[in-house]
Structures are given as structure tokens and as C-alpha cells.
Structure 1
Amino acid sequence: MSGHGFHVHGPHDHELEHAAQHGDGHAGQLAVVTAILATVGAIFGYMGGATQANAGLLKNDAAIKKTEASNQWNYYQAKSSKQNLSELALELAPEGRKPFYTEEIKRYKAEKADIKTAAEKLEAEAKDFDKKSDEQIHQHHRWAQATTALQISIAMAAIALLTKKQWAEYVVYGLSVVGVGLGIAAWLHY
């Protein structure tokens, strides 16, 4: 309080004046590190969201290809049924109709071969999309782990600034290294 030239300092006021006059560079340094960690964490968070979205899109593409493959296999089965009926008709038909059913059987066999190739190709594409989706999910988990480590590091920085405990600063720097390391692992697809 101040009045008529008489000034009384509270303990908090004295600490603030001391820090302002002598500068607590260490606290300033930790504040800058915290700001950098927050920025890097925001980038990691964005990358995590992007990889999660990509994984979902790839999984959707896989489901579409699986449906298309299933349709091809159903078409294959229909051709097999027609071929079986033509084979039965060949056995029961009069001699004059047998060449017709023989040609039908050949046609169905050829069509089935093409359909089978198309179905197998679609199944392979579905597996490829599933694999890519799994890779994106793994990468997403790495980004999430990196972001979490950096968020905890930022919280520990606040604790270190408030308590001025050296061990808390060590936790900040240790978790920062872990977080950045996990971010690098995510970037490199590990």
C-alpha cells in the first residue's frame, strides 16, 4: 500500500519486483519452450486427424471393392448355374440340339473365366485398401501419442514455472524429447 510517501511491500510484490529487476531468464526460456511445444503439438494434432480421416476413406474404398467383388462372384455363380443347366440339357436333348448346348457350355466357361479374373482383381484391390487403411491408423496412433506427450509436457511446464522445481523441468524436457521422437516416428511411418 502506498500513502503519503510510505510504501509497504507484500511478499508477492517483492518477488515480482525482484524478477522484473533481475530478470528470471530461466522462466522466460521455459515459456518459449512451452510455446514451441504448443505449436509443434498443434501440427502433430492436425497430422493425427488427417491420418485418421485418410484411414476412414481407405476403409470405405475397401468396402466398396469388397461389394463389387461379391457382385462379381454372384455373377460367376449365376453363370455356373446356367452352365450346369446346359450340361444337363446336353444329356437330355435330342441329337439336333446337342451342338447348341455344347456351344453354350463353352461360352459359359469362357465368361466365367473372365468374371473370376475380375472378381479376384477386385478382392486384391480391397485387400490393398485395407492394408493402406491399417498403415494410416498405425500412423494416426503415433501422431496421437506424440501429441499426448507434448500436451503433458506443456502441463508440466506450467507446474515447473509455478513451483520452480528442477525435477519438473527435467520432466518437461524428457517428455518433449519423447513427443518429438514419436512425431518423427509418425512422419517416417514407423
Structure 2
Amino acid sequence: MSESGFHVHGPHDHELEHAAHGNDDFASRIAVMTAIMATVGALFGFQGGATQNDAAMFKNDAAIRKTEASDQWNYYQAKSNKQNLAELAMTLPGVDAGKYKADLERYKSEKEVIKKKAESLEAESAEFEHKSEAALHQHHRWAQATTALQIAISLAAITLLTRKKWLQIGSYGVAGLGVVLAALAWLHI
């Protein structure tokens, strides 16, 4: 625009204005599909993050149970040591064997309770490990789906620049692959 208020359009300005206000169906379809793919990709990314967090929490729970089981096995070993000392004490001459026999029986019964608790904690740990592995597998599927949609969006941008129909079809195909991967994630496959 000049100082006098008179405005002269150059050829480039005219093309930009035409593109901004024109009715380019091809570009409009690509733009809408890109927006849809970006929205769906964001949802897939959210699901991927959620399953990754689940996997980490399950792994943490497994580690906690494994530590608790280890503590129980250490307690079991301490009771075994006391049981062994009571057995040894019973064989010494001049010792009240009855007292040590009662201790021996008490240690045996306490060990059984401790052993069951340790085995239960180990089973819980294994279950949490399994849940973690399943959630991590699901996370990988969501990540693959998100990546496929990101590639589809990139192909859509190239399609918009080159106006190649085969790229448009390729973009939609890769987006479809992303939806299939998301379905596999949803179904835990």
C-alpha cells in the first residue's frame, strides 16, 4: 500500500489472496483429514502414556511384593536358625530338653505361617510382573498407532504441497494402519 492509500496487488499477493479465500476442494479435504488424524493421534498418544504409567506402577508393585517376600524368607531363615539351636541344645547333657522341645515345636509352626506368607507374596509379585508386561505390550501398540498417524499427517502435508493423488491415498492408508494398530492395542493383542 502506498502513502496515498492506493494499493497495487502483485502477482504473488493475488495468488496468496486467492488461496486464502478460494474454493480448493482438494486442499480442504486434506486439511480436514489432517485435523482428524491429529486429533485421533493425540487420543492414541494419551492412551499410550496411560498404559506406560500402568506398566510402571505394576512393575513397582511387583518389586514391593518381591522385597516383602525376601523379608519373609529372611525371617523364615532366622526361625530356622533358632530351631537348629533348640535342636542342638536338646542334645547337650544336663539341659532341660522339655523346654527346648516346646521352643522347637513353636519355631516349626511359626515357620509354616511365614513360609505361606512369603510364597503368597512371591505369587503376587509374579502376577504384577505379568500385568506389567501386558501393559507394556499394549503401550507399544498405542505408540505404533500414534507413530503411524504422525507419518500419515506428514504424508498429508507432502500431498498438499505436491497435489499427488497417490500420496493422498498413501496417507489415508497409513492412517488406516494406525487405526488397526490402535484396535489391536484396545483389544490387548
What is the TM-score when the length of structure 2 is the normalising length? 0.89
Measure how far apart 1:24 and its partner are.
Answer: 2.3
Once residues 181 and 26 of structure 1 are traced to their aligned partners in structure 2, the CA distance between those partners, rounded to angstroms, is 26
Measure how far apart 1:132 and its partner are.
Answer: 0.6
Q: Deviations over 1:23-59 (max 9, x none)?
A: 3222211211111100000000111111111111111
* Counterpart check, 1:181 vs 2:163: no
In the alignment, structure 1 segments of 5+ residues that lack a partner are 2-6
Hey, which bits of structure 1, 4+ residues long, moved more than 2 A?
7-21
* Counterpart check, 1:171 vs 2:158: no
- Let me know the Cα RMSD of the aligned residues: 2.3
Q: Secondary structure at 1:26's aligned position in 2?
A: helix
The aligned amino acid for 1:158 is A
2:158 matched to which residue of 1? 159
Range with greater deviation from structure 2 (117-126 or 161-170): 161-170
Identity of aligned residues (%): 55
Aligned counterparts, 1:1-16, within 5 A:
10=11, 13=14
Relative to 1, partners in 2 of residues 1:14 and 1:71: Cα closer, same or farther, differing over 3 Å? closer
Once residues 113 and 123 of structure 1 are traced to their aligned partners in structure 2, the CA distance between those partners, rounded to angstroms, is 15
The aligned amino acid for 2:103 is E
Q: How many residues align?
A: 185
1:4 matched to which residue of 2? none
Measure how far apart 1:18 and its partner are.
Answer: 8.2
2:5 matched to which residue of 1? none
Range with greater deviation from structure 2 (163-172 or 7-16): 7-16
1:46 matched to which residue of 2? 46
Measure how far apart 1:159 and its partner are.
Answer: 0.3
